[in-house]
Amino acid sequence: MDLVYRHNRITRFTHWTNALALMILFMSGLMIFNAHPNLYWGNVSQADRAFFSIGAANDDGDLRGFVKLYGREVDTTGFLGAQQTGFMPTARAFPSWLTVPGYYSLAAGRRWHFFFGWLFVINGLLYIFYNLAVGHLRKFCFTPADAAKVPAMIAYYLHLRKTSPQEDEYNPLQKMAYTGVFVILTPLILLSGMAMSPQLNIAFNWLPAVFGGRQSARSIHFILAFGFGFFVFGHVFMVLTQGFLNNMRSMTTGWYRKKVPLAAKPIKAAAPVRPDIAQALKSKPEVSSSLSDDDAEKPLSATPASAPQTAENETLATPDGGKKHD
Amino acid sequence: MTKSAISRRNLLVRAAQGIGLLAMSGCEKVFDSLSQNSTVQTILEAAEQGNRRVQRVLTGEDKLAQEFSEKDISPKFRSNGNPPPITMEYAEDARNQWAKWRLEIGGLVKQPGQFSLTDLRAMPSRTQITRHDCVEGWSVIGKWKGVQLQLLLKQVTPTPDARYVVFRCMDTDDSGALYYESIDLTDAVHPQTLLAYELNGQPLPVENGAPLRLRVENQLGYKHAKYIRSLELVSGLEKIGQGKGGYWEDQGYEWYAGI
């Protein structure tokens, strides 16, 4: 087994802090939303102008939950709008198992939200400054060259293409996702959150207008929260499908086992009798390795497992260097 | 080998799903009990101090909340919270156009005073069209006219140890507890902090806090005390109400409602 040191201490610490912060921010945010489960565009909230609502209606003595988007209504009894609690359904926009706290308390939801908002920001700054300093951040940077490779990468994931167009440590889709989170999602969710604050409406009284008014800022904040939710869903899906234990190990201990995939198989036949075949096989890995040089996700060629040639990009700026165990 | 790898993966995925489900139902209980744990809450409240300090630094002096134009005024200014006071006295005062009502200002001041609505209307006024943001999330725009609180404070001259203005109100909740609120002197002397007696060009309606209510534009709606009877300048909030500085604060909401 070829273990490489993939994530240093700061990356691991900030990753899990971020995971906790995002989870609590999302769930306490849903609690805060429950206090007024309607969204509007503009500065103010006129009851009949909500474009999105979660609500409950009394339907012949039965409490019925619904979600309404631009006048279109969907029955969501049991999940959104009306939740089964004990003997009878209770009116509640997001169900208790999705909110922090589970019981209705706007005051407590806000307290959780603002504390973990600070944690999210401070933790994010630690991550960003550290990774800027060590030059790791540019590996995530989604460039026009990456954009050109996105269709090929999608085709590869859909098994419509045999070879991955990935050339760097992170593939084009990963770069797109991370760059999107760093430069779009995170700044916008912070600013739209700040645009809702009355005190900041004095400090920067142009801020709500940037989003089209305070209620627009609130709606955008809500939508972006689900942008984060979508990212986390994709992220966890990839972790589960691309080697759950290996990924979890690398994010807890730092050590990641390089994949030795099926492509390495022909090497086994490296002892054929015919010298021409041997010649052909021998030249092959060289061709492919020149096409795509260093890459963490990619098969290590036929070289013996201990070959340290890729260690330099993994161990970049790690406190305990190229130390390996197992 | 391949087969066992697949079934092991299945097993892991199943395990993760199981843990996830357990976590979800467990999560709720954990967060519920953490939300009621006083140590945890004290830690979380540290963020409140951070919000107040950082936001104050960012705000600086002499900056104003966004003001809107006439066409932005909401058709109806939503009222929320306690119903209007139900005492005979309040009803009678309302019938008499507040002729007998007096705003009392006392506590840590050199010249305690009493002001009738006529007195207040005779003072220089400020009119502002501002957005009112409720802690629940909704917003409404209205035009307010009133006396700047800083003008009234000048007349009563707070003593050097006065730090907060406490607003005593006439409305009660269903248990009979009187509404009250407090702000510090920094917010009290902000040019947009008013004791308002007019909304959208009309005498303040009963549901919006007649005869006099607070406008403190840097904070959420629950700080904007309605149905004001008296003002008291104090050095600390511990001995008032349940000690948290306001009716909603006593029920867990933050004293600093700038966020």
- A154-163, A219-228, B155-164: range with lowest mean pLDDT: A154-163
Note which residues in 63-92 of chain A have CB less than 8 A from chain B: none
Distance from CA of B81 to the nearest CA of A (A): 13
| B119 & B24 share domain | no
B130 token code pair: 């501002």
Delimit the domains of chain A by residue range: 38-93
pLDDT at A322 over 50: no
Phi first, then psi, for residue A306 (nearest 5°) are -85, -5
Comparing A268 with B170, which gets the higher pLDDT? B170
The highest-confidence range among A54-68, A130-144, B24-38, by mean pLDDT, is: A54-68
| B123 & B207 share domain | yes
Q: CB-CB: which of A96, A202, A208 is closest to B28?
A: A96
Other Cβ atoms less than 10 A from the Cβ of A54: the count is: 23
What range does the domain containing B171 cover?
66-251
| B100 & B189 share domain | yes
Partner-chain contact B9 A114, CB within 8 Å: no
| B118 & B246 share domain | yes
Q: CB-CB: which of B34, B131, B251 is closest to A43?
A: B131
> Which parts of B15-159 are beta strand (E)?
103-107, 113-115, 126-133, 139-148
What is the average pLDDT across B76-81?
Answer: 92
State whether residue A39 sits within 8 Å of chain B by CB.
no
Instruction: Give which of B61, B138, B215 to mutate to test A binding, by max A Cβ within 10 Å.
Output: B138
* Predicted structure pTM score: 0.83
pLDDT tens-digit readout, B187-209: 999 999 999 999 999 999 999 99
SS3 content of chain B, % helix, strand, coil (to 5): 35, 25, 40
State whether residue A200 sits within 8 Å of chain B by CB.
yes
pLDDT at B65 over 50: yes
| B26 & B90 share domain | no
Q: Which residue of A has its CA nearest to B137?
A: A36
Distance from CA of A128 to the nearest CA of B (A): 21
**The amino acid at A112:** W
Is the residue at B258 inside a domain?
Answer: no
pLDDT at A153 over 70: yes
Distance from CA of A106 to the nearest CA of B (A): 8
Answer for the pair B235, B210: CB distance below 8 angstroms, yes or no: no
| B135 & B38 share domain | no
Count of domains observed in chain B: 2
pLDDT tens-digit readout, B84-100: 998 999 999 999 999 99
Q: What is the ipTM of this complex?
A: 0.89
Is the residue at B14 inside a domain?
Answer: yes
**The amino acid at A128:** I
Partner-chain contact B58 A200, CB within 8 Å: yes
Partner-chain contact B258 A97, CB within 8 Å: no
Q: Which residue of B has its CA nearest to A31?
A: B136
Is the residue at B59 inside a domain?
Answer: no
Is the residue at B259 inside a domain?
Answer: no
Helices (H), A53-183: 106-133, 144-157, 172-180
Long-range contacts, stretch A308-313, CB < 8 angstroms, 24+ apart: A310/A4, A310/A258, A311/A4, A311/A5, A313/A169
Distance CA B172, CA B188 (A): 24
pLDDT at B30 over 90: no
- Residue B9: the pLDDT is 64
- Residue B21: the pLDDT is 65
| B111 & B225 share domain | yes
Is the residue at B256 inside a domain?
Answer: no
pLDDT at A296 over 60: no
- Using alpha carbons, select from B94, B156, B40 the residue that is nearest to residue A115: B40
Other Cβ atoms less than 10 A from the Cβ of B249: the count is: 23
Average pLDDT, chain B: 92
CATH at B209: 3.90.420.10
Distance CA B238, CA B223 (A): 17
Partner-chain contact A36 B65, CB within 8 Å: no
| B158 & B73 share domain | yes
Partner-chain contact A106 B135, CB within 8 Å: yes
Which residues from B are below 8 Å from A196, CB to CB?
133, 259
Which residues from A are below 8 Å from B134, CB to CB?
36
| B86 & B130 share domain | yes
- The contacts of residue B7 (CB under 8 Å, 6+ apart) are none
Is the residue at B11 inside a domain?
Answer: yes
- Residue A166: the pLDDT is 86
What is the average pLDDT across B41-64?
Answer: 86
pLDDT class for A21, splitting at 50, 70, 90? very high
- Using alpha carbons, select from B140, B222, B221 the residue that is nearest to residue A43: B140
pLDDT at A234 over 70: yes
| B73 & B134 share domain | yes
